[in-house]
Structure 1
């Protein structure tokens, strides 16, 4: 129990620090979101009065008051789920934009991350168990794809599979021209899967090599431990030694990396989503940065921070259940 209380206490402090940093950083950036909107209104020929500026300051969370007062108002808004108003899509709420983009990213990047982790760890386990096999010799090839620039790999796949061989569409999240409405209908799910296959393939190809290499090296190290030798001396089946004794301990470091990967699923893959024009969080963040939409940037960064902390907390708890030695050292 002490182990879990320590972990929860640490993440509560980390959550407060993330929220505070998320409040401070936008206020240290040059520029003012109110000035951005007023400039757009002036360019469109709309009249801008002092009352208009004051109303925008209130709407966007700016205006007067000390930094402490603004911080208190910021915490109160968070407690009510108010992340502010987007400048790019004014007057749409930031929470609405994030809620629209988040399912796309979780479906694409989340599923691709899980697939690459399962395949990478599974193949790495067999590569470490059968050292010198063809699978073991294949690892340098897979790690080469990990070293290739992400955008370059995405562009190569787009060229080969959408232009040279027209197998997949090159952009979008679903077939807009077919009149489909986002939902759980069979037609929409099939279209979204078809459009998301190529971006997902890019993520899997570029990340599977790291999981394979890490698991393979940990398997080789674990197989030299005394308890593995003892298990083999007792005459246990090779499959049981491989799964129960070797793989269970070798996978522990990969779980920590997997937690970070799951946390950053919410962040999306900015390059992949931009190359494929995929309507996820990554593209939303790119648009926010390009247009100096501070409220939207702040909201996206906060969601990313919360997801990373939550994923790490879950895996730390599971880590203690899988390996009791971590609880003993706490």
Structure 2
């Protein structure tokens, strides 16, 4: 691998993270509905009618101004980036706890359900999609294509709400919220692990179904395209075994375009699924982001955005660096 290209690519990734964080910070900090403006509006509305609540808003506004001093926007932006580079995401506006501590408690739950569902849907989807591509035009292919197309058109929050209502509230087969039973002490014990898996079944199933259709249809299209390549026809003429053609000649090359999508999806998984975690009351980053947005919690919002931005950019960088390992043509170039 070219060392100059590697240095340039890493530098571009770092610069992308910095610029994206600055843009996000400016959009939140200087928007009409910024935390300071919201607190100031609440203060003005309640100041005359309810002095007690006005005092609370005034103290929150003072805390916010102490937390994020206003001055030259350029200096503020660079100061914020400097703090971020040192691992300091600030204090939560509402709880006054470190943002890194709050995110650290929710991130493992999000990584667990989103990554698990993503890997299950990916490997199952590429296998089913490859079989659909081989049987293109058949009744099985037509039926599965119609099914996955309809499945892909169903919004995530609709399927999650149906799972919760039918399997949770009506049949009582699965819990309706939380990450584990409140009666179980967290730790590396069998009851705790079983409880965690039991509570994660519905969120993982919802995310798996939502992702499965996309992977299967994409793999089907890639398989059909790859089957028309000359090297596949030449391998069939040579008498290469069908199983070898399916795995080495077709499967591997049809999978290549999906590799980058998978790595990027893993990066986005750090942001969790807001709808699924909110529906199932799952204590992940997605639920935390929903809480931060609805409560105008500026520092917590930015902390989660930084985690998502960094994960996605690093994922794309890893995809670029490792793509040559699965595609020799890139390595030769």
Q: Is the CA contact (8 Å cut-off) linking 2:267 and 2:312 kept in structure 1?
A: yes
Q: In the alignment, what sits opposite 1:124?
A: 129
Unpaired segments ≥5 residues, structure 2? none
Q: In the alignment, what sits opposite 2:22?
A: 20
Q: In the alignment, what sits opposite 1:261?
A: 265
Q: In the alignment, what sits opposite 1:210?
A: 214
Cα distance, 1:227–1:181 mapped onto 2, change above 3 Å? same
Q: Is the CA contact (8 Å cut-off) linking 2:125 and 2:216 kept in structure 1?
A: yes
Q: Is the CA contact (8 Å cut-off) linking 1:266 and 1:281 kept in structure 2?
A: yes
Q: How does 1:28-47 map to 2 (within 5 A)?
A: 28-31=30-33, 33=35, 36=39, 39=43, 43=52
Cα distance, 1:245–1:83 mapped onto 2, change above 3 Å? same
- Taking the aligned partners of 1:150 and 1:157, their CA distance within structure 2 comes to 11
Q: Is the CA contact (8 Å cut-off) linking 2:39 and 2:61 kept in structure 1?
A: no
Matched, 1:305 2:313: no
Cα distance, 1:78–1:142 mapped onto 2, change above 3 Å? same
Q: What's the offset of the Cα at 1:182?
A: 3.1
Moved more, 123-132 or 106-115: 123-132
- From 111, 118, 124, give the equivalent of 1:113: 118
- Taking the aligned partners of 1:213 and 1:55, their CA distance within structure 2 comes to 51
Q: Is the CA contact (8 Å cut-off) linking 2:28 and 2:34 kept in structure 1?
A: no
Q: In the alignment, what sits opposite 1:57?
A: 65
- Taking the aligned partners of 2:275 and 2:19, their CA distance within structure 1 comes to 28
TM-score for the superposition, normalised by structure 1: 0.89
Q: What's the offset of the Cα at 1:72?
A: 2.7
Moved more, 160-169 or 3-12: 3-12
Aligned CA RMSD, in angstroms, stands at: 2.5
- Taking the aligned partners of 2:32 and 2:70, their CA distance within structure 1 comes to 17
Q: Is the CA contact (8 Å cut-off) linking 1:42 and 1:48 kept in structure 2?
A: no
- Taking the aligned partners of 1:271 and 1:47, their CA distance within structure 2 comes to 31
Q: What's the offset of the Cα at 1:16?
A: 2.1
Q: What's the offset of the Cα at 1:8?
A: 2.4
Q: In the alignment, what sits opposite 2:168?
A: 162
TM-score for the superposition, normalised by structure 2: 0.88
Q: In the alignment, what sits opposite 2:105?
A: 100
- Taking the aligned partners of 1:312 and 1:303, their CA distance within structure 2 comes to 14
- Taking the aligned partners of 1:271 and 1:157, their CA distance within structure 2 comes to 13
